[in-house]
Amino acid sequence: MHQHEQNEEGATREELEQIYGTLREKTPEELAREKEFDPYEPMNFEQIRDLDKKYILGTYARMPVAFVYGTAEFLYDTTGKEYIDFLSGIAVTSLGHANSDLIEALRSQADRLWHVSNLFYNQPSVMLARALVEVTFPGKVFFANSGTEANEAALKLMRAYGQAHAKKKTKIVSLKGSFHGRTFGAMSLTGQEKIHNGFGPLVSDIEFVLVDDTASIVLAIDENTAGVILEPIQGEGGVLPLDEEFIATVRERCNEEEALLVFDEVQTGVGRTGQYFAYQAYKTEPDILTMAKGLGGGFPIGAMLVKDKLSDVFSAGMHGSTFGGNPLATAVGYEVLRTIESQGLLEHAREMGDYLYTGLEELREEFPDLIEEIRGLGLLVGVVLKNSREARPLVEKALSHGLIIGRAGDNVIRLAPPLVVRESSIDAAIEKLRKMFKELK
């Protein structure tokens, strides 16, 4: 810029220098350093891994690959190798990678408004809230940024509801093998000792019951119970669908003791099971519904939906979130629901789920010494390995074959392809699994 040339704001270089100091040319060393940290300058896997090790806390056991871009149900790493993605970022990228409708929704909103806080109204949040109510039940929404935040909100609301009835009404009932998040309250609700270890005393007055143990949960839900939280299909617990009669009994006991029933559908929600939410397949309605993951199609968002009768439990100031309900996240979330509806993806998910299940059952018959059971619903499927075989080595082996899968628990392979997955990709994934199982015989 010449000395008197104006920038877009109308300031000259001379005026800028008066404000910010002398604007000098950058040295070759500074330019080289800028290039080194240029986010658009591609790195190889080793460079990414080394920087990760140096600058990021080691809280994840990462796989030896770095992905650069994706499209639909495919991902590509730093070498250009193609992978079929049957994990979807752990049931997150519900519409696949680089979905054009989501990209346009995000770009369009980004051009208008990113953030204003919850001190003010914004249009995308109310549109998404209305859409969520329309596909579930009459109620109101609290927006958060993740599944664990949504469950924290549910925990607080259960306790607040209980306290409004009686001081002793503080007990929360959860299930063994459950997973509700990593923040302290949500972790306390999680029925896995390995998640609790190392953190000292957890939130008190939480009782855990075995999955489908009807007799025990009937006794656990009593006059001191504020609420019950469960996943209709336990995700991290092994893609384990709960028994319909068990869930119906829980609903009945909650009604009898004036306790709230919370369905954690962070993993099963927003079309994953072939319904908007898994509870709709079980035909048992919760009082509170939590969600995240697929709601943003890859953009961080979480939400808690409560029935109308609970809309006044939280008064202004009792709960909140700085970023929850921001225009970017809710604009994308609304587009996720709009796309699911306009493209008939619920029916597609049911059809592709059946197709995947059939292919996996054929593998089970072909490898009876390796596969115990196929279970799940829609496009959330678990392959239970025989003799408690560890799933992690198989997940790594599948990756080497160009197939991305996950594990749920110690001995269950988790498959969660995007709702837009095609038959041809399912066929290719089944063949990769077949090849992998043959290598194990």
pLDDT digits (tens, 9 = 90+) for 250-267: 999 999 999 999 999 999
- The tens digit of pLDDT for each residue in 173-230 reads 999 999 999 999 999 999 999 999 999 999 999 999 999 999 999 999 999 999 999 9
Residues in Cβ contact with 52 at an 8 Å cutoff, skipping those fewer than 6 apart = 62
Answering whether pTM is above 0.85, one says yes
Give the integer Cα–Cα distance in Å for 403 and 430.
10
- The tens digit of pLDDT for each residue in 112-149 reads 999 999 999 999 999 999 999 999 999 999 999 999 99
Q: What confidence category does residue 103 fall into, taking pLDDT thresholds of 50, 70 and 90?
A: very high
Report, as an integer, the average pLDDT of 64-71.
Answer: 96
- The tens digit of pLDDT for each residue in 348-393 reads 999 999 999 999 999 999 999 999 999 999 999 999 999 989 999 9
Q: What is the pLDDT of residue 2?
A: 40
Q: What is the pLDDT of residue 441?
A: 76
Q: Which domains does the chain have, with CATH numbers?
A: 1-36 (no CATH), 67-98+345-440 (3.90.1150.10), 113-342 (3.40.640.10)
Give the integer Cα–Cα distance in Å for 283 and 280.
5
Q: How distant is the alpha carbon of residue 326 from its chain centre?
A: 18
pLDDT at residue 3 tops 50? no
Helix 327-342 to helix 123-134 angle, to the nearest 10 degrees?
A: 40
Residues paired with residue 158 on neighbouring β-strands, in sequence order: none
Which class for 299: exposed (0-12), middle (13-18), buried (19 or more C-beta within 10 A)? buried
Tell me the percentage of the chain whose pLDDT exceeds 90: 89
Phi, psi of 425, deg, nearest 5:
-75, -35
Kindly give the pairing relationship between strand 371-377 and strand 260-264. unpaired
Q: What confidence category does residue 31 fall into, taking pLDDT thresholds of 50, 70 and 90?
A: confident
DSSP 253-314: HHHHHT-EEEEE-TTTTTTTTSSSSTHHHHT---SEEEE-GGGGTTS--EEEEEEGGGTTSS
Report whether 158 contacts 319 (CB < 8 A).
Answer: no
